[in-house]
Amino acid sequence: MSTIFYAFGILLFVAVVLSVEAIYLWWNNAHGPAAKRIEARLRALSAGGHVSAERLSILKKRLLSDSPRMQRWLMSVPRIGALDRWLEQSGSTWSVAQLFGYCGLVVLCAVALIPLVPVPLPIILGCMAFVWLLPFLHVMRLRTKRLKQMEVQLPDAVDMISRALRAGHSFAGALGMVGQEIKAPLGPEFRTTFEEINYGVALDEAMTNLAMRVPVGDLRYFVIAVLIQRESGGNLAEILDTIGTMVRERLKLFDKIRVLSAEGRLSAWILGLLPFGTAGLIMVVNPGFMRVLWEDPIGWRMVGAAMTSMIFGVLWMRKIIRIRV
């Protein structure tokens, strides 16, 4: 073989290696851990901080959408900042534009299945409305799970701050220790507060931002206690010990209530989903049997009466199994 062939093979190998390296570097810079941390910090600042209107608009342009037209449209939507904060509290990497995009995607998938399901238009519209809410329900589930994890981690964080204060550390230093030692999701929030204080933000404002980013009732008790102690004085370590003990006892009580109401919650889910599951199964096995419900006027009345009874039943079961403490 000629020298040109060997040179071509070597150059081709080098080109492939460099291409793979370039793709890896691009992916790591765009989607790597460092990029995700920067995006989370920007999202936290845009969603929870007391920043100027000019700075807030700059952050919103980077977070809501990459498209300028979509950005302008989203900024005109009322309460879009609350939706962005809601996404940030869920810990999701989605932006507001991505959330709306996923909603449209699931609706298009549902529309593609319409020819395969011979049902009337009102039922189709109701199903499309429910499908459109699925991404929101997913984010809501993530948010509830994340806030629950923060609530469980809060007593350990409060105890760590109390021990650090007794050891002679400053309150800001104790927040930094919590940010380093406590795992996600609560640790990064305290680390953000510690960094805000280091950057020159007042302690009262930084603690208020923490309460806005983490809407947990027990953490708000902690923030209020710290702010009151700064105004009136007192032993903050003893106050934090009391708060930690109170939070632990409340969590134990909540767990006990959750165990006692597990049977009722399971019954509510089964009774609520059983009619829809049975109707879907009948539609697959014998579509003509279900067609009477929307072809006969009496069928529509029966469907309306059944839906009304189900709604009242679900609300009643929810009132029974939901115990407030």
Q: Is residue 24 domain-resident? A: yes
Q: How many domains does the chain have?
A: 3
| 61 contact partners, CB below 8 Å, separation of at least 6 | 71
| Per-residue pLDDT tens over the stretch 65-83 | 666 777 777 777 788 878 8
Cα–Cα distance measured from residue 44 to residue 64, given in angstroms and rounded to the nearest whole number: 13
**Residues 220 and 261 reside in one and the same domain:** no
Res 266: pLDDT = 86
* 106 and 40 both lie in a single domain: yes
Please report whether residue 325 resides in a domain: no
129 is a domain residue: no
Share of the chain above pLDDT 70, in %: 83
Q: Are residues 204 and 257 in the same domain?
A: no
260 with 201, same domain: the answer is no
Q: Which domain holds residue 38?
A: 1-117
The pTM of the full predicted model, rounded to 2 decimals, is: 0.70
Q: What b-and-e string marks burial along 204-218, b requiring 16 or more CB atoms within 10 Å of the CB?
A: eebbbbbbbbbebeb
Residues 6+ apart with CB under 8 A from 129: none
Do 213 and 255 lie in a common domain? no
Confidence of residue 61 (pLDDT cuts 50, 70, 90): very low
Task: Indicate the pLDDT class of residue 124, thresholds 50, 70 and 90.
Answer: confident
